[in-house]
Amino acid sequence: MIVNIFCNFVAKDISMESNSKFDVVIIGGSYSGLSAALALGRAIRNVLVIDSGKPCNQQTPHSHNFLTQDGNTPANIAALAKKEVMQYPTVQFLDDEVVEVKGENNSFELITASGQQVQARKLLFSTGVKDLMPNLSGFASCWGISVIHCPYCHGYEFKDQITGILANGETAYQMASLIRNWTKQLTVFTNGKSELTESQLAQLAALEVNVVENSLVDIKHVDGYLDALIDSDGTRHLLSALYARPPFEQHCKLPKELGCELNDSGYIQVDEFQKTSVHGVFAAGDNTTRFRAVSWAVASGGKAGAIINHELIDEG
Ligand SMILES: Cc1cc2nc3c(=O)[nH]c(=O)nc-3n(C[C@H](O)[C@H](O)[C@H](O)COP(=O)(O)OP(=O)(O)OC[C@H]3O[C@@H](n4cnc5c(N)ncnc54)[C@H](O)[C@@H]3O)c2cc1C
């Protein structure tokens, strides 16, 4: 079967025989996957990147704290990366979703949602995580815009502004201590009975951090830019930004189905070389670590690419 693989940047149709065999198939073609593809493509490995086009930061207007791209849009950064990677004829890119993987080291078979079948000697999962939006009106619309996960990524843009933290207990205490470096106008919303200890409450009070225990019922915003939190009493808390750490799940269930171990926090267990517990299967980026940033994703993807190449050399 002949298929067309469209690359947005280098206008080329690539024909791929059914069951084409690649040295490496990279599942997930965002920052970590493209970084691995660059290393492997430059190592003259025959690489296929398959990506379903849903990176976790797609709603955020500007990405920060990544050298040379500070303030650029997430889509632009990904587009630049893809353009660079696709200059290497050793790399092919498929806009598709991998729905099935089976096999073992040096002989994996993958099937995509559109029915393509390919084979690979090695696999890299750079599939990221999916944030699970809480059942709080307005939260999902503001996510990545004014409801933010990380002060290093977005804190500077909200410095000295009235800011909330949606968290409870030890997490709330740790976040408040950190974020107070960016703004002193800080309120912790525990969204129910406080689980902060007496000592933590006293330390927050000394830092002039307010604590609100009432449940939250609504987030008022304009196009994702926060205006106020409404609590169960009907009180309107005016805010510019709200920090939150919603729960997550693996974006892709296939590593677990292949037998890759997940750790207690829900990340794919990898060693220092990005190797999973299944031989020949690697993972990189957000799906492996709570250190969640473009720079970390790029670094781990680049490392995975180099290590995969070494493994292929060692195995002859
Ligand atoms: C709201 C928000 C704002 C952020 N802002 C910043 C910031 O300002 N600066 C910063 O440094 N970091 C920021 N981050 C963190 C940063 O976005 C992540 O660390 C980074 O995107 C992780 O890259 P990744 O390649 O591991 O995963 P992702 O970028 O999430 O990409 C995973 C890719 O895998 C694909 N995929 C998943 N399953 C499959 C499958 N079965 N088949 C094919 N493809 C699949 C997805 O469609 C997706 O394209 C932010 C994160 C969020 C959530």
Q: pLDDT tens for residues 176-215?
A: 999 999 999 999 999 999 999 999 999 999 999 999 999 9
Give, using CA atoms, the residue closest to atom 31 of ligand 1. Answer: 55
Confidence tier at 316 by pLDDT (50, 70, 90): confident
Architecture of domain 139-244: 3-Layer(bba) Sandwich (3.50)
Position 19 scores a pLDDT of 76
Give, using CA atoms, the residue closest to atom 52 of ligand 1. Answer: 57
Centre of ligand 1 from the C-alpha of residue 276, in Å: 19
Give, using CA atoms, the residue closest to atom 12 of ligand 1. Answer: 293
Residues with CB under 6 A from ligand 1: 27-28, 30-33, 50-57, 60, 63-66, 97-98, 126-128, 131, 143-144, 149, 153-154, 251-252, 285-286, 292-295, 297
SS3 of residue 244 by DSSP: strand
Q: Which of 251, 253, 295 to mutate to test the pocket of ligand 1 (most atoms within 8 A of CB)?
A: 251
Cβ atoms within 10 A of the Cβ of 134, count? 15
Q: pLDDT tens for residues 95-109?
A: 999 999 999 999 999
Q: What is the mean pLDDT of the chain?
A: 94
pTM over 0.75: yes
SS3 of residue 284 by DSSP: coil
For the chain, helix, strand, coil in percent to 5 are 25, 30, 45
**Distance of CA 238 to CAs 125, 225, 241, Å?**
41, 12, 9
Judge whether 54 and 28 are in contact, CB under 8 Å: no
- Kindly report each contact of residues 261-265 with a partner whose C-beta sits within 8 Å and lies 24 or more positions away, as own/partner: 265/290
Kindly report the CATH class assigned to 20-131+247-315.
alpha beta
Q: pLDDT tens for residues 268-289?
A: 999 999 999 999 999 999 999 9
Same CATH topology for 20-131+247-315 and 139-244? yes
Give, using CA atoms, the residue closest to atom 15 of ligand 1. Answer: 293
What are the residue ranges spanned by the domains of the chain? 20-131+247-315, 139-244
